[in-house]
Amino acid sequence: MKVFICAYGGFYVAIPMSSVASLTDLKDRQVVRRDAVVERDAESGDTYVSLPMLFDLPQEKLRHGIVLQTDGDDGGGKIVLLSTEVINTTEIPGEKIHPIPKSLNGTRFSGLFSGMQCAAEATRDAGLVILLDTERLIGYVRREAA
């Protein structure tokens, strides 16, 4: 599976490229600050999801916005995932992705991930990579924005 690898301090998030419609570089723009994990823009209809806020890392600088592909988008807007730095793209073989440990099921965001890879070569320091389940994220966003 081809993924974007995004850095978050001591771990990384892999976002499947197949679910990304476009990637916007925010480096040269004003730093986007949001006070909520999910925020809907009433004017444009776009829904913004901040991964740093989801991880309780509000001080993380947002460097990229990723437009997630959705089937039958209701309301005409798009779902924009605000992410930190995309450090690279890579291929993660299915056999290298392990299930999320059941002990993490109680965390508020564990259901948004479909697996993990430890000591991944695709990261700068061979750290932990968690694989974002974009279908679940879109469901979460729609519930939160309603």
The model's pTM is: 0.82
Alpha carbons 140 and 65: distance in angstroms, whole number: 18
Beta strands in 42-143 (DSSP E): 47-50, 64-68, 79-83, 86-91, 113-117, 128-132
pLDDT digits (tens, 9 = 90+) for 3-49: 998 988 778 899 999 999 999 888 765 555 567 788 888 888 888 88
Alpha carbons 102 and 23: distance in angstroms, whole number: 32
